[in-house]
Structure 1
Amino acid sequence: MDEDLGEFVREFKKVLEDSLEILTDLDCDFVQSKEDELTHITSMQEVHEATDDIANFAKIKRAESELIRRKFQ
């Protein structure tokens, strides 16, 4: 009985990991499609703001990846 429960938990964990990966990919695709829209930068202030946005986005994505990796280890 314990072996059946252990197998069920392993299978359930695998399904969750696969589902999370699919959802993450969909989210990235959605975000990427929105980011593909080009806007004109007309001042140095906008260049600095865009640079900050890109750096913050990269930090957030890295933190999300680390959190997911730790949760499913």
Structure 2
Amino acid sequence: MTTDFADEARSRTARLLRMAATTDDRVRDQIVEYATTTPDPPPLGPHGIQTRGCGRCRRTMWAQRDYWVCAACGHVEDS
């Protein structure tokens, strides 16, 4: 059992590998690739995590207060 502090100190990759709980090297490699090639989600806001498609690059936009920010190209739109 780990404390919340220890869990927060782990990297995103380590947390994903721990959640997957697999020893399959192929699956673990896929998880590592995913974690290193996708941005971290923003901090959880009061309405949870909200996403939509980016009109510019078609990747994922995250709701950030009164704006939408694309995780891939950085495009910003008003809510």
When normalised by structure 1's length, the TM-score is 0.31
- Report which of the two has the higher share of helix: 1
Which structure would you say has the larger RCO, counting Cα contacts within 8 Å and 6 or more residues apart? 1
Larger radius of gyration: 1
Q: TM-score, normalised by structure 2?
A: 0.29
Decide which structure has greater strand share. 2
